[in-house]
Amino acid sequence: MDRMLVVVFDNETKAYEGKKALLQLDDEGSISVYAYAVLSKNADGTATVNQGDDSGPIGTLVGTSFGSLIGLLGGPVGLAVGASAGLAAGGATDIYNAGVGEDFIDDVSKTLRPGKVAVIAEIEEDWTTPVDARMETIGGSVFRRSLSEVQQKIHAENVAAMKADLAQMKAELAQAHADRKAKLQQKINQLDSNIQAQLQKAKEGREAAEREAQTKIQVLKAKATAARAKAS
């Protein structure tokens, strides 16, 4: 299952130890790491990307769920650029694109306070024990969220809420006086336009997710090829 993973540590030393452990788990085949970054929360509330994964066919996943999550965790007061400029550039504060719920961002933000450092990664894992056991030994607080579940839920809730409003407005339109009909019709047209935009956005999101999925398959195949070459 593909997931967003955030592990919060008390300092950079522990965070880099956590990053190393995460990549070791990838080497062992316990998980697959598609992209990662080390992010520090500064005293003034800003965040700095100290290190990111710029290499490979996926690279920093700029413009995808991972890049958007970086932007959200960077906070509203700004994201300073550290070693990975491309990664920071992808940090659009769009909760839908990030593929995580607001509750997830809130939970992480409560722990990722000034002075704390987080390892953020997009991973594939079949079970949670390998990551949890390794990170807890180092002293990290682990947060994770499945991408597919959240993206579908957020979209469905947004569209359902707008359709409910649209139905109510249409009911009011049928009973409205002439002087109100034009204003209500304008609101109905705008809301219908917003719904169509959401549906288009969801379609684009599905297409982007499919492209990303194909790239991830390439990454897994490359790792399998490298492992066979190493064993032979």
Mean of the per-residue pLDDT values of the chain:
78
Same-domain pairing of 124 and 138: yes
Q: Which pLDDT band holds residue 129 (cuts at 50, 70, 90)?
A: very high
Say if CB 116 and CB 9 are below 8 A apart.
Answer: yes
Same-domain pairing of 90 and 198: no
| CA distance linking residue 20 with residue 25, whole number of Å | 9
Q: Which of 146, 179, 211 is the last residue of a domain?
A: 146
Q: For the segment 50-109, what is each residue's pLDDT rounded down to a tens digit?
A: 766 544 434 444 446 777 788 788 754 344 444 343 444 333 346 556 666 778 888 998
Report the share of the chain in percent with pLDDT over 70: 76
pLDDT at site 92: 38
Same-domain pairing of 134 and 159: no
β-bridge pairing 79-80 and 47-52:
parallel
Provide the number of structural domains found in the chain: 2
Say if CB 19 and CB 36 are below 8 A apart.
Answer: yes
pLDDT at site 201: 75
Same-domain pairing of 25 and 139: yes
Same-domain pairing of 113 and 157: no
pLDDT at site 177: 84
Same-domain pairing of 140 and 163: no
Q: Which of 99, 115, 146 is the last residue of a domain?
A: 146
Domain range for 20 is 2-146
Same-domain pairing of 116 and 219: no
The residue ranges of DSSP E strands in 68-180, in sequence order, are 79-80, 117-125, 141-146
Same-domain pairing of 125 and 36: yes
Same-domain pairing of 110 and 33: yes
Same-domain pairing of 11 and 122: yes
Q: Which of 91, 120, 146 is the last residue of a domain?
A: 146
Same-domain pairing of 167 and 142: no
pLDDT at site 52: 60
| CA distance linking residue 64 with residue 70, whole number of Å | 10
Look at 120 and 46; give whichever has higher pLDDT: 120
Pick the closest to residue 124 from 38, 231, 212, 56 (CA basis): 212
The lowest-confidence range among 93-97, 201-205, 215-219 is 93-97
